[in-house]
Structure 1
Amino acid sequence: MKHTLNTTLALYRRCAHGLERLRNALLPVRCLACGCNVSCVGHQGGLPCCKTCADALSAKPQVRCVQCALPLGPRPQAFGWTRCRHCRATPNAAIVSVACHNYATPADLWLLQMKYGGRPELARLLGAWLALALKQAGDHARPDVIVPVPMHPDKQRQRGYNQAELLARAVARHTGIALNTTLLQRARPSASSQSRKGRQARMAKTDNPFRCQKAIPAELRIGLVDDVITTQATMQACVDALRKAGATQFTLMAVCRTPE
């Protein structure tokens, strides 16, 4: 009986291997990040990507400010600083920030493809990358609930999806943290694209477009997810809305952080 079972399993493995080879011959495996045909793929978060992209995704992360995720240069690191010069002047222990990469090649190209190139499937890969960065940040950064930065319904209908929500879903799936996509809403669209504004204009005080209608227990750490942190203006507006609802602790997460 045991011999028969082993023979059956061996036959099954050979058939499965043969089918896999046939599939690869007829439908070449494509790297999820860059789309190139690859005969031998690596994996990041259980997802296929070519060796070049896998190496970029698994590279040693930069040392970053724990509060705003700006990269720390060699001098702050030599002094043992954990915050950049801006956050050292205004430290806030209630906020932790996590980012995978500077807004630079290749990550910036992946985000542009995801947002404007009609490739929402990239969120699976980039979300897995962000989940890894969150784990590397340590238990103090782990939120109790993950909340995507919301998009106004009109803009979401135009694009077809909210990239922050797709990233948040992937992070939740890889970390096991609860996801809440209704806690925070965007009450009105932005007047113009944030990407075309200068730093001063982005940081200017305007009416907060974000709203939170539910009470939040103070002990609950909220994990906000967006694709890019530039000046933290959007994240700060979300934090302000959540604070009004009772939240006191936040982890701000993004695939990329724009350096100074």
Structure 2
Amino acid sequence: MAAEEEDGPGRGGAAAWAFKHEALRRRLGDDIAAMRPGEALPNERLLAERYRVSRSTARRALQSLREEGLIRSVRGVGTFVAHPHIVKTSVLTSFTEDLRARGHRPGARLLAAERVEADLHLATALGVDPGTALHRIERLRLGDEVPFCLETVHLSAERFPGLDPARLTGSLSEELRTVHGVHVVRAGQQIRAVNATGRRAALLGVPEGSAALLVRRTAFDAAGRVVEYGESLCRGDRYEFSFVVNTAHPPAG
């Protein structure tokens, strides 16, 4: 059966048109979830024929998927499944939660798990005395096996004595919550633009000097105690930070 004729919002009503492109967007989203990053999608005409919709409906559905970051288009070449991408907001979520929410597979490659003594910087960040025994955990965080960030976390060895390195290829937040009964409810973050160089660029799989974001994070439990202090070097092409800010003094009236 041939595709429908062009049926933009001026014909059949905006509500009906919106329903059609949303239904197609969902179907395409399911298809994309089973595809690999970089895999090509059919062009607009073929999509319209395959799903028996108009080209305007196919065009709007593709635009919605582009806005969600699920696909990318290269003029004169085609449309492709996008690599995983994270948009961080002011809501406190873990790396694992962010990837799962977008239909991607989170992972971690454990690079180091060792005991160290707190220097002055780490002691100040964690609210402990210098020389206090800490866990130092270095991991490469992955989304669908693609490197996203290089993460180094420090925690009190006294508070978490039985931290099992074998369990650190998953979510550290889940490990602390389910095994140790510690819930992170608040975090302070500082974000700075840097360049990835040397070993760090190689681990992230990016060229020397590539743009990156250095995120320093201090996490707290409900009692206000510091749970962990971490630094993450995030690939600039995989992360976006989006926040709503308000004026310090709202206008009266």
* Coarse TM-score class (shorter-chain normalised): under 0.3
Structure with more strand by fraction: 2
TM-score (norm 2): 0.27
Structure number with greater CO (CA < 8 Å, separation at least 6) is: 1
Q: Larger % of helix: which?
A: 1
Larger radius of gyration: 2
TM-score with structure 1 setting the length = 0.26
